[in-house]
Amino acid sequence: MQESLSVKPADFLSAQKNEEDVNMAVASLVLGIISLVIAVAGGAAGLGWTGSICGIIAVILGAISKKDPAQKGKATAGLVCGIIALSWGIIATIACMACLGATASALNW
């Protein structure tokens, strides 16, 4: 009876792991794009740090999902978008703090 089974438990586990890698690669890509939009659009409003947080998560998921050769393109795109958003968010946050400091010193607060 056991010999007639065509699906082995190891096949099921590898298929489940592959699905998780696909989900992580897509999540990395989506978070990378969202973090890029938030970092660029929200940077002037002082929300660059939220884009940076999403960028960090995108970088982590992209690095993990890059192990699967079939998902390497999506993972790399999410990784690159996350790194750019992280950098832009940090620069925008520092620039916003510098503007606030300059305004405060000009107003003698």
Residues in the chain: 109
Model confidence at 27: pLDDT above 90: yes
End-to-end CA distance of the chain: 83
pLDDT-derived band of residue 22, with 50, 70 and 90 as boundaries? Answer: confident
pTM of the model: 0.74
Report pLDDT digits (tens) over 47-100: 777 888 899 999 999 999 888 888 889 999 999 999 998 998 888 888 888 888
How far apart (Å, rounded) are the C-alpha atoms in residues 22 and 98?
A: 41
Model confidence at 45: pLDDT above 80: no
26 versus 5: which is more confidently predicted? 26
